[in-house]
């Protein structure tokens, strides 16, 4: 087993026992610093090793690790040593993106299990797309996998008049937008998304491998070709594997925040 050097960016720093900051919080912060410096890539230290390195109790170590797990930085599984969470996918906000391209660009192997690809009708979805309630639609429902593990449950609806050729596509390892451009000569150029915390239903939780009452992200998207809505998409994403990232500057447009209405008192 490789031992971390006692000094330097990868090594532990002494904790300040006179500080008002609890020891577990100092330990959590120093472990985070070491992670950012590139430590623990091959192996995350066991509890007993951390107690020796930092001269603290096992309770202090466990509290620090609990904080890192809550932040999604460390994975702890029964019967296995803790390890860094390298599975988290970063997704930019405020830009048109394809999950397929984002995963491929981050070096993540992605594929999809197609659960449904057919013609359908849905008055509510048709309304989102500016169509009459009985307008025919093409629906594509997929379970998105990243490195073989469930990441998202994704259902996209498109007007059948433009998306009919998609019924012959194999979406096991290709993108919706790529096939939409190639087969239908329709290019999605912009749109709007709403992201909020969400409790998946029983089927979604089962598909995504989530525990009962484990929260996820729900994403609703309108995709447009020019000014025309051509896609209504509903996606449920595992919160423990997905991170949304926004870049901004002094010249950036503000992101609109829509506060939830207050819950009625019972």
Per-residue pLDDT of the chain (266 residues; tens, 9 = 90+): 444 444 456 788 999 999 999 999 999 889 888 877 777 776 778 888 899 999 999 999 988 888 877 666 776 555 555 655 545 555 556 555 566 566 665 566 778 999 999 999 999 999 999 999 999 999 999 998 877 888 889 999 999 999 999 999 999 988 899 999 999 999 999 888 888 888 999 999 999 888 877 888 898 999 999 999 999 999 998 877 766 666 655 665 555 555 554 444 44
Q: Residue ranges of the alpha helices (H) in 113-252?
A: 123-128, 160-163, 176-184, 202-208
Phi, psi of 23 (to 5 degrees): -60, -40
Q: What is the pLDDT of residue 88?
A: 54
Maximum Cα–Cα distance across the chain = 70
Q: What is the pLDDT of residue 92?
A: 58
Q: 16-31: buried (b, 16+ CB within 10 Å) or exposed (e) per residue? A: eeeeeeebbebbbebb
Phi, psi of 130 (to 5 degrees): 75, 30
Q: What is the pLDDT of residue 239?
A: 79
- Per-residue DSSP letter, 22: -
Query: Model's pTM, two decimal places?
Result: 0.62
Q: What is the pLDDT of residue 82?
A: 60
What is the C-alpha separation between 261 and 75, in angstroms, rounded? 35
Give the closest residue to 24 by CA, choosing from 71, 67, 80.
67
Asked whether 84 and 44 are in contact (CB, 8 A), the reply is yes
Give the CA distances from residue 21 to residues 13, 18, 39, 62, 74, in Å, rounded to whole numbers and listed in that order.
15, 9, 24, 16, 22
Q: What is the pLDDT of residue 257?
A: 52
């Amino acid at each position: 087993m490789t031992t971390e050097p006692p000094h330097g960016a990868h090594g532990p720093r002494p904790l300040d026992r006179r500080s008002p900051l609890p020891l577990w919080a100092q330990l959590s912060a120093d472990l985070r610093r070491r992670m950012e410096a590139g430590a623990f890539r091959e192996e995350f230290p066991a509890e007993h090793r951390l107690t020796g390195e930092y001269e603290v109790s096992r309770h202090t170590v466990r509290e620090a690790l609990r904080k890192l797990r809550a932040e999604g930085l460390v994975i702890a599984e029964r019967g296995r040593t803790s390890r860094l969470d390298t599975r988290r996918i970063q997704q930019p906000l405020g830009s048109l993106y394809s999950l397929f391209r984002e995963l491929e660009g981050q070096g993540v192997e992605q594929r999809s299990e197609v659960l449904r690809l057919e013609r359908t009708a849905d008055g509510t979805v048709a309304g989102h797309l500016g169509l009459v309630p009985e307008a025919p639609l093409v629906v594509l429902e997929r379970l998105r996998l990243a490195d073989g593990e469930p990441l998202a449950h994704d259902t996209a609806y498109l007007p059948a008049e433009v998306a009919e050729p998609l019924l012959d596509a194999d979406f096991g390892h290709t993108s919706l937008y790529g096939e939409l451009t190639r087969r239908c000569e329709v290019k999605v150029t912009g749109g709007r998304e709403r992201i909020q915390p969400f409790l998946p239903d029983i089927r979604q939780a089962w598909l995504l491998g989530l525990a009962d009452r484990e929260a996820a992200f729900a994403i609703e998207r309108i995709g447009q070709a020019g000014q025309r809505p051509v896609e209504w998409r509903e996606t449920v994403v595992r919160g423990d594997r997905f991170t949304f990232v926004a870049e901004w500057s002094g010249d950036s447009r503000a992101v609109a925040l829509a506060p939830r209405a207050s819950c009625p008192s019972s």
